[in-house]
Amino acid sequence: MNAELPDALLVSDVEQLRALADPLRIEILDVMGQHPIRSWTAKELAARIGGSQTRLYRHLALLEERGLIRVASTRIVSGITERRYQVMALNYRMDRSLVLGGGAGELAVNQVLDIVFERARAEIMAGVRAGLIDVDPPKGPTRMVMATARGRLGPGSVQRVTELLDELDAIASRDEPDGKEYGLVAGFYPRLADERGEH
């Protein structure tokens, strides 16, 4: 990991948030974030994501303009300036003021959440259809593990769950040469009590 790369970038501007509310830009950041030390050209990203590099140029320019990626280096190739891009952080935190009062900030947050969950749903369904995921195996690499939980947790338990999720994210983000592709979606968040005052 790059020692200068912060763990998290605070997204405090609606335009930054809107830049995240696009499936292709989330995919770009996801690919770049898996190898945060590395810098990427549009051509390399297109090869990794699929499609043409031409369609990535405006997305990369927007991500750079919004401070989500940076130009790590440039060089001239056949008379054209080639840019190598790098992520600005491993994760993104949102300034709560963006969603207070609704409006554009809340809409952008909902769009980002929709993209993340729709992508996971599509990957799961494609895996089931292709036979990569067994919906009811006892154990093994084709098993899909899903869990949902609600509880009342003290500060120590909250810290422990957060540490475990950080560790799980680090493990699931590895790029092992003999490995197979896996996905992980996890959320841990404080909840409002329901109408009966229960959690």
Is residue 85 exposed (0-12), middle (13-18) or buried (19+ Cβ within 10 Å)?
buried
In this prediction, residue 12 carries a pLDDT of 85
What angle is formed at CA 89 by the lines to CA 68 and CA 71, rounded to 5 degrees? 50
Q: Which residues of 125-136 are buried (b: 16+ CB within 10 A; e: fewer)?
A: eebeeeebbeee
* Beta bridge partner(s), residue 10: 93
The pLDDT value recorded for residue 137 is 62
pLDDT for the residue 2: 45
Low-confidence ranges of the chain (pLDDT < 70): 1-4, 137-139, 194-199
32-65 pLDDT per residue, tens: 988 888 899 999 999 999 888 888 999 999 999 9
CA angle 72, 73, 77 (to 5 degrees): 145
What domains does the chain contain, in order, with CATH numbers?
Answer: 8-92 (1.10.10.10)
- At 146 the pLDDT is 77
- Say what the pLDDT of residue 42 is: 94
Query: pTM of this prediction?
Result: 0.73
Helix, strand, coil distribution of the chain in percent, nearest 5: 45, 15, 40
Tokens of 7: 């763990």
Q: Cα–Cα distances in Å, from 8 out to 2, 37, 91, 92, 93?
A: 13, 15, 4, 5, 6
Long-range pairs of 61-64 with CB within 8 A, sequence gap ≥ 24: 62/19, 62/25, 63/19, 63/25, 63/28, 63/29
Read out DSSP for 110-151? Answer: HHHHHHHHHHHHHHHHHHHHTTS-BSS-SSSTTB--------
Helix (H) or strand (E) holding 72: strand 69-77
HSE value, Cβ hemisphere, 13 Å, CA-based, for 168: 13
Please report the pLDDT score of residue 197 as a whole number: 53
